[in-house]
Structure 1
Amino acid sequence: MSVEQKRAYNKLKHDLEPWRNLIVHLDSVISWEKNYYPAIIAVTISAFYLLLWALDMSTVTTLALAGLFSLALDYIYPSVSRFLFSPDNWNGNQEEQFERVCTQLCYLKAALSGWYEYLFSAKERKSTLFVTIMSLTLLTLAWIGTILNNLLLMYMITMVMCLYPGVLQKNMLYKVKEYFGLVVNSKFQKLREKNKKSD
């Protein structure tokens, strides 16, 4: 880590200090430390979006209520957390997990700012190419938004974003790839044996 990255990490860690217990518990759920956590994530997200669908609120109302909820949580949680989580129960493993989450958030922030700088430096260097690519991307997003219900689209994006860390943690992509590789290989093997018998 460079000095600037270390400074950003220390600032982020300090800012998130009041939320550390909640962050550690959320990280445990998102990384699927227990086998039933994916079901909890799926049910929670589905119930939330089902509620949004049933209430059928306008976008402005939804954003206003989300802002109000965030404001109330930010105001109430630090006081309530003292009763929910005892400081004596905080141990070295939790501190290590909290530091790991802070490090990942720092890397994510650096990656996003790097992409932002790259995009806008590309705008200055190759403005025609930048405008063309951005226009095509935005038109594609607009087209996807017209053919899919926006709430359904947000539901799918939220579900993928919340399940993806656990999928990575458990190497599910590798396991799926390995399983399909075995299935395809066994099919080819059977086909070869069948061709040998017919010859």
Structure 2
Amino acid sequence: MEDAIQELQVKKLKRLLEGWRMALLPLKSVFLWEQQWHPCAIVASVTVLFLSIWLMDLSTLASFAVVGLILNFVDFIIPIICSTVYGPTGWTGQKEKMYEDICRSIVLNYNKTLVQVKSFWSLRQNSPSMYYIISLSMLCVLAWMASTINNVFLLYIFSTVVLLWPGIRQHGIFNTVTSLIYKVPKISSKTE
């Protein structure tokens, strides 16, 4: 049953991203760091975007409007450029398979995130004390961070981490760091 639902989600996503399919293939290689310079390109792009927002010194609402304008322009122009440059003859069966794999990966990650959010919300009924301890702690930390650190800078860090995350997972960097943390010698609490 879940496989049928997942396949339906993949088909819907493929139709939704139809105009972006030629752009998604090179973007996949950038997000998975297939070249050594790809992480630098991601960080540089995000930095230029946030530096321009910071230099314009817009209010929060105006910043959202500018980002929305940029995203709408990109969403409008990319399908036009892709259809003009590549044309219908540039799409092969191999590219279609890669496109379907990208859509399947997006759906899988979306569903995993949804399951994690639902399991967190289920804590509210199963273990209310744990739910409130976790949620209140996270909200207090977020409130403290938002009051001490510039919000544009926080959004810059968050955006950079989100865009670098697929490459971090692909190259096993997160697993390496966590394994190093577990290898750190434990300090004995016994006093002699």
Q: When the two structures are superposed, what TM-score results if normalisation uses the length of structure 2?
A: 0.80
Match of 2:88 in 1: 87
Deviations 1:136-181 (A, max 9, x none): 2111111122222222222222222222322333344567789x89
Which amino acid letter does the alignment assign opposite residue 23 of structure 2?
Answer: L
- Structure 2 distance, partners of 1:25, 1:93, is 14
Pairing 1:31–2:32 present: yes
- Structure 1 distance, partners of 2:127, 2:174, is 36
Deviations 1:107-157 (A, max 9, x none): 122122212322333223444442332122111111122222222222222
Match of 2:187 in 1: none
- Structure 1 distance, partners of 2:121, 2:171, is 36
Match of 2:118 in 1: 117
Q: Is the 8 A contact 2:31 2:38 kept in 1?
A: yes
Pairing 1:108–2:109 present: yes
Match of 1:57 in 2: 58
Change beyond 3 A, Cα 1:152–1:117: same
Change beyond 3 A, Cα 1:141–1:101: same
Match of 1:135 in 2: 136
Q: Which has the larger radius of gyration?
A: 1
Which amino acid letter does the alignment assign opposite residue 96 of structure 2?
Answer: E
Match of 1:21 in 2: 22
- Structure 2 distance, partners of 1:116, 1:177, is 23
Match of 2:70 in 1: 69
Match of 1:98 in 2: 99
Name the one with the larger helix percent: 1
User: Identity across aligned pairs (percent)?
Assistant: 27
Pairing 1:124-163 to 2, within 5 Å after superposition? 124-163=125-164
1:54 Cα deviation from its structure 2 partner: 0.8
Q: Is the 8 A contact 2:10 2:100 kept in 1?
A: no
Change beyond 3 A, Cα 1:177–1:59: closer
Q: When the two structures are superposed, what TM-score results if normalisation uses the length of structure 1?
A: 0.77
